[in-house]
């Protein structure tokens, strides 16, 4: 029988040779290394099983693998087939980890999200889910496993982020179920397990006198000219900040006086029409002299091939002296909604202009032009109203 000393002293020769240990186990020695092999018969045929490479597989380990193979043979099971099945199972498990499936799901759905949404989802998965669950086979992940990862997010006080990560993880699990790599979605068992999230309201100014002061401050902005134009346009169109900074010249129709935002850029995934008031047209014509040669209306100061940074508008408001608790780029939406409702404009027209979700999904696919004549009238009135507030005049509702 082979000994450890014999194995260590065995040197390669001109031709490969074997050193037998008994029971069909032997060490094959050649110029590239020392390999454990097991000869056996199954179904009347001579076969050889690769047991491992010395010294990674020791003499004791090799004998143990030989004995395990003998047990299988006694049960009329082919050790080579068992090894192949185990190898395939290990490979399948490696290809079916949460991270592998999540990245596959992400790649298939990325084109349906806005750029900012796609970046947010990837960042959440990479920083808050993958470190704890990424290398786990997805079919083995339980609700307590997922909850433990989400609790780490909650421990930082990021309750809203924990809730959203649960939602994204649930989408990955459901994709795994649909593709046959998991049996169920454990995120569904966590309903009520996370701390409740307080409704977050974006800071906004709704007092007419304060709005007038804000518009005057914007007119006096002394930073980047492109930023000033974006800041000046924001209250006139009250779109979401991401929609404003991703505005492209190909979407602006000066003849029809409207801005048509493609569905893939919108939160509700439907085309959105923004009627442009004379004041908005003037701002766009002015900034076009500087940026009209490129793709974006408001490009990044570092690269014309990218849109303005998501923090630019808020940073400009801070430069004007408005703290984040007072006013944000998103706050122009609630500003417009509050004042337009107070002045009697139809709720349906306001909601449609804000591009809020529709109750009827079928209607929503075709209603981007709904209430458009009234919305054009409303947007012109709103621009004039802001001008009057900026001039400090007492404004009476044209609706009243």
Rounded CA-CA distance 384/389 in Å is 9
Active site residue 356: yes
Name the residue with tokens 């802001």: 386
Active site residue 260: no
Q: How far is CA 153 from CA 103, 158, 160, in A?
A: 21, 6, 9
Active site residue 330: yes
Considering 151, 267, 318, 319, which one is annotated as catalytic? 267
Active site residue 159: no
Half-sphere exposure (CA, 13 Å, Cβ side) for 166?
29
Q: Cα 117 to the chain's mean position, in Å?
A: 6
Rounded CA-CA distance 305/294 in Å is 7
Buried-exposed string 195-210: b where 16+ CB fall within 10 A, e elsewhere? eeeeeeeeebbeebee
DSSP string of 184-199, one letter each residue: --GGGGGTTTSPP-PP
Rounded CA-CA distance 192/327 in Å is 33
Rounded CA-CA distance 64/86 in Å is 17
Rounded CA-CA distance 378/290 in Å is 29
Considering 228, 333, 352, 375, which one is annotated as catalytic? 333
Name the residue with tokens 């004998």: 63
Active site residue 385: no
Name the residue with tokens 């004039």: 384
Considering 63, 240, 352, 376, which one is annotated as catalytic? 240
Active site residue 264: no
Rounded CA-CA distance 178/201 in Å is 37
Considering 330, 352, 375, 376, which one is annotated as catalytic? 330
Considering 13, 41, 87, 356, which one is annotated as catalytic? 356
Rounded CA-CA distance 51/57 in Å is 8
Q: Which residues are catalytic?
A: 240, 267, 330, 333, 356, 366
């Amino acid at each position: 029988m082979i000994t450890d000393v014999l194995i260590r002293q065995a040197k390669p020769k001109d031709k490969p040779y074997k050193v037998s240990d008994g029971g069909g186990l032997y060490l094959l020695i050649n110029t590239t290394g020392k390999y454990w092999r097991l000869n056996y018969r199954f179904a009347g045929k001579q076969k050889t099983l690769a047991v491992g490479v010395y010294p990674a597989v020791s003499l004791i380990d090799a004998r143990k693998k030989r004995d395990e193979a003998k047990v299988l043979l006694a049960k009329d099971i082919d050790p080579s087939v068992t090894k192949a099945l185990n190898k395939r199972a290990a490979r399948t498990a490696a290809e079916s980890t949460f991270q592998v499936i999540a990245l596959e799901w992400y790649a298939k759905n990325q084109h349906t999200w806005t750029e900012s949404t796609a970046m947010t989802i990837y960042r959440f998965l990479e920083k808050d889910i993958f470190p704890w669950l990424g290398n786990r086979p997805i079919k083995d992940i339980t609700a307590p496993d997922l909850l433990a990862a989400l609790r780490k997010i909650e421990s930082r006080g990021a309750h809203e982020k924990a809730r959203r990560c649960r939602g994204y993880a649930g989408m990955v699990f459901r994709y795994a179920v649909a593709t046959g790599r998991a049996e169920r979605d454990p995120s569904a068992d966590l309903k009520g397990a996370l701390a409740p999230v307080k409704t977050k309201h974006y800071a906004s100014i709704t007092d007419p006198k304060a709005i007038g002061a804000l518009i005057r401050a914007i007119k006096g902005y002394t930073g980047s000219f492109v930023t000033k134009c974006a800041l000046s346009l924001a209250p006139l169109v009250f779109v979401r900040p991401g929609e404003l900074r991703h505005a492209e010249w190909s979407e602006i129709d000066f003849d029809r006086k409207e801005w048509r935002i493609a569905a893939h850029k919108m939160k509700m995934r439907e085309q959105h029409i923004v009627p442009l008031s004379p004041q908005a047209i003037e701002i766009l014509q002015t900034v076009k002299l500087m940026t009209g040669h490129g793709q974006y209306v408001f490009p990044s100061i570092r690269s014309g091939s990218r849109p303005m940074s998501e923090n630019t508008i808020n940073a400009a408001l801070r430069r004007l002296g408005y703290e984040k608790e007072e006013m944000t780029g998103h706050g122009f939406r609630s500003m417009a909604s509050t004042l337009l409702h107070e002045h009697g404009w139809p709720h349906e027209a306001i909601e449609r202009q804000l591009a809020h979700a529709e109750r009827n999904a079928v209607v929503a696919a075709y209603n981007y032009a709904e209430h458009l004549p009234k919305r054009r009238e409303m947007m012109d009135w709103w621009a004039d109203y802001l001008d009057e507030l900026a001039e400090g005049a007492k404004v009476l509702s044209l609706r009243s």
